[in-house]
Amino acid sequence: MSRSYDCADAQGRKDGIADAASSVRRGELVVLPTDTVYGIGADAFSPAAVSALLDAKGRGRDMPPPVLVGSVRAAQALIEDLGNYGQDLIEEFWPGPLTIVCAAAPSLSWDLGDTKGTVAVRMPMHPVALELLKEVGPMAVSSANLSGHPAATTAEEAEKQLGDAVAAYLDGGACADDTPSTIVDLTYAVPRVLRDGAISVQRLRAVCGTVIGVPKRRSTSEGETGDEAAQDGAEEPAGTGSGESPGAAGSTAGAAADDAEPTAKGEAAPAAPGASPDAAAAASPESGEAQRADSSETGAERGGTA
């Protein structure tokens, strides 16, 4: 049976974070608030947990979830190449509603779905989410909703859709803004926006100069112009979506629900037998991530896309 915690109460938040952290380490699912919409999350390095997340949403491997991190250092350990503008974008917009799609570090053994060697990463600006992420390490997070349904903006809405598929619900109150994160693909020389969101193309161009925006498409049936980039992709952040939500370059992106969001190019990199000690250590800022790195080195299958 699911457990719910009122994070507006100090003791409730403490108990909730502890329970959610334990649940994630056991390979179970949790719902957490973000700065966009609520997300459903799992240990990014547990293929079984990521598979359970996709099953809970009614989503396939072609829509991998994005990964949320609690620090820039943790993100850098997951990414092989930030491209020409990744570091500048991180410095300007993190923590915040920007999901970046980059080439994933090949030394990590994980399975987020059909990412084709890329990963969508975001650092949310929400105290509860950051506290949990710093405790357990990188999490695969998609918007907390069934695929095709509106992203949840309260813990109650998330529970109505996901029920007992989730072990613990962290209630951070209603979302102040349900606009999803902006998803930017940095695997090209020129950054490409895969999903419009809270950060406008104009603000991105102020940092990067040239940025390719999402092309407007005209409906063949009604002749109306509009970007239909994944309604459930408005989730974040994953795959992208925890509310966050990702396709080949769009798989990751469409999936990214808030953060649930992402993209993919090329062939999926083969899973390594275990994360390298250096990468695992970098991805684990002190607390729970260190334990996760240890377990991956002892042979646990950890691995794996706001």
Q: Which contiguous run of DSSP H or E holds residue 79? A: strand 79-81
- Alpha carbon dihedral 135, 174, 5, 197, in 10-degree steps, equals -30
pLDDT tens per residue across span 144-164: 999 999 999 999 999 999 999
Q: Are 25 and 42 in contact (CB under 8 A)?
A: no
Number of Cα atoms under 13 Å in the Cβ half of residue 172: 23
262 prior amide bond cis, ω within 30: no
DSSP helix/strand/coil, 30: strand
Determine the pLDDT at residue 72: 97
Beta-sheet pairing, 168-171 with 3-6: parallel
Angle (nearest 5°) at CA 118 between 114 and 120: 100
Q: Name the residue among 228, 252, 225 with its Cα closest to residue 241.
A: 252
CATH superfamily of 3-297: DHBP synthase (3.90.870.10)
pLDDT tens per residue across span 78-107: 999 999 999 999 999 999 999 999 999 999
Q: CB neighbours of 210 closer than 8 A, spacing ≥ 6?
A: 190, 191
Q: What does the block give as tokens for 130?
A: 């950051």
User: What average pLDDT score do residues 118-129 get?
Assistant: 98
Q: Are 263 and 208 in contact (CB under 8 A)?
A: no
Determine the pLDDT at residue 177: 87
Residue 286 confidence (pLDDT) above 80: no
Q: Which contiguous run of DSSP H or E holds residue 147? A: none
Q: Which residue has the tokens 């619900």?
A: 169
Determine the pLDDT at residue 216: 75
Q: What span, in angstroms and rounded, lies between the C-alpha atoms of 136 and 168?
A: 14
pLDDT tens per residue across span 244-267: 443 334 445 445 434 443 333 433
Q: Are 102 and 82 in contact (CB under 8 A)?
A: yes
Confidence of residue 215 (pLDDT cuts 50, 70, 90): confident
Give 273 or 218, the one with higher predicted confidence. Answer: 218
Q: Are 94 and 198 in contact (CB under 8 A)?
A: no
Question: Mean pLDDT over all residues of the chain?
Answer: 80
Confidence of residue 271 (pLDDT cuts 50, 70, 90): very low
Q: Which contiguous run of DSSP H or E holds residue 4? A: strand 3-6
Full-model pTM: 0.76
Determine the pLDDT at residue 218: 56
Least confident range from 180-189, 197-206, 208-217: namely: 208-217
User: What average pLDDT score do residues 55-60 get?
Assistant: 96
**What is the percent of the chain with per-residue pLDDT over 90, rounded to a whole number?**
68
Q: Name the residue among 123, 120, 149 with its Cα closest to residue 36.
A: 123
Domain extent listing, the chain:
3-297
Long-range contacts (CB closer than 8 Å, 24 or more residues apart) made by 51-57: 52/27, 52/28, 52/165, 53/29, 53/140, 53/142, 54/113, 55/165, 56/29, 56/162, 56/165, 56/166, 57/142, 57/145, 57/146, 57/147, 57/162
Q: What span, in angstroms and rounded, lies between the C-alpha atoms of 174 and 121?
A: 24
Residue 22 confidence (pLDDT) above 50: yes
Q: How many residues comprise the chain? A: 306
